[in-house]
Amino acid sequence: EMIESGDYINPSFNYHPRFNKPVLSYWAVAASYHLFGVSELSERLPIALAAIVLIATAFGLGRAVGSYEAGLLAGLILATSPRFLMFSRRIIIDMWITMFMALTLLFFVLAEIHTGRESGIRDRGLGVGEGGLGVGDRGSGGSSNQSPTPNPRSRTRWLLLMYVAAGLGVLTKGPVAVVLPALAFLIYLGLERRLGDLRRMLIPSGVIIVAAIVLPWYVALYAQHGWVHIKEFFIDENVMRYAQAVGTPRRGIWFYVPVLLTDLFPWSILLPAAVATAGTAFVRRGAMSTVQDRVQRLLLVWIGTVVLFFTFSRTKQDLYIFSIVPAVAALVAVLLVRAFQMQPKSVPGRSRVSLGLAGALLGILGVALGAFVVVPGRYPLAGSFVVAVLAAAVGCVAAILAFRGRIKHASIALASVLVAMSWVFVLVSLPDFEKYKPVAPLVDMIKQRATPESRIGYYRFALPSMAFYMRRQVFEAFDLETLKQSFASGQEVYCLMTDEDYRSVKDTLSVPTHVLARRPLFDVKMRAFLEGNELPEIVLVSNRP
């Protein structure tokens, strides 16, 4: 819509102004359209690039807190997590804010490595070169005789890049991209008894950088609309969403516990053990503390700050805490790499049990997939049998290896099967999954019949992609009266809704209606899945036969 109108100041959706989020994600997709043409691929490309950057960020954090091997494993953990894979293929603004917040953390970590002795960082465990970092490991998967050689110029560079990432985050989703990192870093420096380092954080330069990135768009917005949309965004979309539940039911204080354990499943099952292991860095303080210890403490503070901040928010969404996943991947990687170096009998029980439980749960899910999906043939999907067998068989093997203390072999088995499952899912299952995505084929049918005067839209079940495929404004009817008005307009109407909704409203409409087509929709709640209920259907309803 930006490209069609030539208006790059005012975001819109469905040809209506939309100011609930800043503009950067719109610009990114528009740039992709300009480069590659308007298509599903070019729309998803910016999110895929954000996912690649996040994997690289996990590598950087893992290397900083552990070793090169830990960095590689951290990136692999993130890349092989099914939930992360799913998000990297969807248009989700949270992937972008996660990327910028993770980069803010990484650049602060790299600046911290270059801070030097004046802040009390011990000269052991981490080798730092001019351009980046080389990591030795005190029991974390590497070794180095290098001493830290902090470089003030490199520290300045990383801090300035940190402010660039924070500014881009603000232009993506608002002040949370500055508030949360600032809060986490302030808590960290307070725990380290180094609040005096705030004077060396280049804060005036940071304010200028963030303002230079953010203010031009807000000034342009103010010039056109005054304060109205700016106030709406900062008050309604930030303060009010934190102070009261908006668009979601009230969710309890424990809402994020299962989210923590599923965001990087199955690897996130190791998070409690990883936190317990990293927590020993709080014991090694003062003269016994190394740079690695400090980075571990920083990652723990980051995770805790983000989770607690959103725990006390009245509006809770699972993706709100997704910015912790690179840090979680890094800590889990360090836990595993430490265990790699041990003899099986010497591996701590928490490492054995956690990794064994991760493998066992993956195996159980494979069995469940076979029992409830593959064997009954309820939801036929190409590749599902292979995925079920791989998960069940290799998950159980990984669990056995882990319980016997063979952590490296178990990790390799788990990573390998997750990679294999991902390839089967992407190359085999996803193409077949298109039959459960009804909007595109139904829109094609509408295009063949509709005229410019036709009213086209959807009822109750939100289908925002309809505007993308139609390339025109569609009506959104979330209540019966709006639907009745559309059908009573005297115009030709084409409306998508669930079959269940159609059966409940067809007798209340003032004109005869016809179902022109129907398509299955994969929108199954857990209870319906376990009971083997049929998939819901989306129907195309019209007042024309």
Provide φ and ψ at 273, rounded to 5°: -65, -40
Is this structure's pTM higher than 0.85?
yes
What would the 3-class secondary structure string for 429-443 be? HHHHHHHHCCHHHHH
Of 269-278, 305-314, 532-541, the least confident: 532-541
- Condensed to tens digits (0 to 9), the pLDDT of residues 492-526 reads 999 999 998 999 998 888 889 999 999 887 765 55
User: What's the whole-number average pLDDT of the chain?
Assistant: 84
Model confidence at 144: pLDDT above 50: no
Residues 6+ apart with CB under 8 A from 479: none
- Condensed to tens digits (0 to 9), the pLDDT of residues 207-218 reads 999 999 999 999
Contact 382, 432 (CB under 8 A): yes
Distance from the Cα of residue 491 to its chain's centroid: 42
- Condensed to tens digits (0 to 9), the pLDDT of residues 423-453 reads 887 777 777 777 778 888 999 999 999 898 9
Model confidence at 301: pLDDT above 70: yes
Helical segments of 435-479, H only: 439-449, 465-470
| Rounded alpha-carbon distances, angstroms, from residue 411 to 231, 279, 352, 450, 469 | 50, 22, 11, 55, 43
* Residue 14 binned pLDDT confidence (cut-offs 50, 70, 90): confident
Count the residues in the chain: 545
Of 39-43, 244-248, 256-260, 353-357, the least confident: 244-248
